[in-house]
Amino acid sequence: MPLSQAQTASFLTTSDAVHGLDRHADRIGYFVCPPLEGSEQLTAALELLGLESEDAIEKVLATHDRTVHRTLEMLLACRPRWRASRTFLCWLGLVAEYPTVIDSDELQKFGWDKEIADDVARVVSIVQRAP
């Protein structure tokens, strides 16, 4: 059974993995947004991907922690000021785990700006190919 909006919101506010990514984003210069900004779209994406538990999301984030950290750093080189909600940080993990499903076009279907979606998909791909 898919996660509800309330379960997604709870995960975003209690997850140690998300909290760590949030601290990293703040430390390197991101403007940290309200943690639940865009969580409705994230809930829909989790359902699309079949991620039905907090443990499943946590596993994706743990698997791609290094990729998300490096992606955050490289995105700042593309554009000096980024906003980052906890939802955005989870999206980076999803793009890393499911690059053929959550690509720029799919991000745009979830309401992302084309330029930002293109940058995120491109940078995640570059980071994953780097040694």
Cα-to-chain-centroid distance, residue 102 = 11
pLDDT of residue 86: 94
The residue assigned the tokens 């039905």 is 52
Range with the lowest mean pLDDT among 3-12, 54-63, 77-86, 110-119? 77-86
> Of 6, 8, 106, 104, nearest to 58 (Cα)?
8
**Count of C-beta atoms within a 10 Å radius of residue 89:** 26
The pLDDT, as a whole number, for residue 34 is: 80
The C-alpha atoms of residue 96 and residue 124 are separated, in whole angstroms, by 6
Rounded Cα gap, residues 98 and 67, in angstroms = 13
Range of the domain at 106: 5-129
Mean of the per-residue pLDDT values of the chain: 93
Residue 36 has pLDDT above 90, yes or no: no
Total tally of structural domains belonging to the chain: 1
Helix, strand, coil shares, percent, the chain, to 5: 70, 5, 25
